[in-house]
Amino acid sequence: MNRPHLAKFCVAAIFALAGTATADELPYPPRTSPPVVGFLDAAKPQCWARSYDAAHMTAHPKQKVTAIAVSYVVEKTYPEQPDPVPMWDPYSAAPAFSAILAVTMKGHTKTLLAGIYCTQSEDPNRLDCGVEGDGGSFTLTKRPDGKVRLDNPGGLAVGDGEATDDSPSKVADIVRAQDDQEAFLLVEAKGGLCDAEFPPAP
């Protein structure tokens, strides 16, 4: 999952909805400014993260995730794209955005990543999200205390970011619900995993 791959994913996610939705379902003209997507203002970068201390990991011996973050930025610049790519979707009938899921896990020396796509739900405090390439789905729910709960019902696929169009990721894993990873409670954060990026193409 390198940066060109993520760029293609983001652009594909944005234009796929434009190609499949009916004219009545699409904003017309397309959005020209970042929307509010549930509890996320797509005009501002945002990150929610959590790292786990030794005491927590000892109390949850099956858990493999040692840190996790969901990181959104307004736009990204890629060498193969003439203009910055918006990470918010100007064509989706429901406000939506693309972002990065980043985790560190026991047994891996590298940060593992996934491109994700989140849409506004009927509940303004919940976002419905999916992982690129049928890598699973999850929800983000903002609680009254400002923390965000990531619910992981079926597992999330992540990789080391070194995939190419012709080969799979060199390192991959699944964040499995049954490994005491059915939910994560995240807080607003900066730095650390919030700055995780897909590496440039070789």
Q: What is the pLDDT of residues 140-158, one digit of tens each?
A: 999 999 999 999 999 999 9
Q: Which range among 42-51, 76-85, 109-118 shows the weakest confidence by mean pLDDT?
A: 76-85
| Nearest 10 degrees: Cα torsion 8, 14, 18, 20 | 70
Q: Indicate the pLDDT class of residue 198, thresholds 50, 70 and 90.
A: confident
C-beta of residue 47 within 8 angstroms of C-beta of residue 68: no
Tokens of 85: 């790519």
**Of 154, 157, 172, 97, which is closest to residue 127 (Cα–Cα)?**
97
Mean pLDDT of 126-133: 96
Identify the pLDDT of residue 188.
97
For residues 31 and 151, give the distance between their C-alpha atoms in angstroms, rounded to a whole number.
Answer: 29
- Whether the ω angle into residue 153 lies within 30 degrees of 0, i.e. cis, is no
Q: Residue 133: left (phi > 0), alpha (psi -120 to 50), or beta?
A: left
Tokens of 59: 């109390």
Tell me if the pTM is above 0.95. no
Per domain, the residue ranges of the chain are 3-195
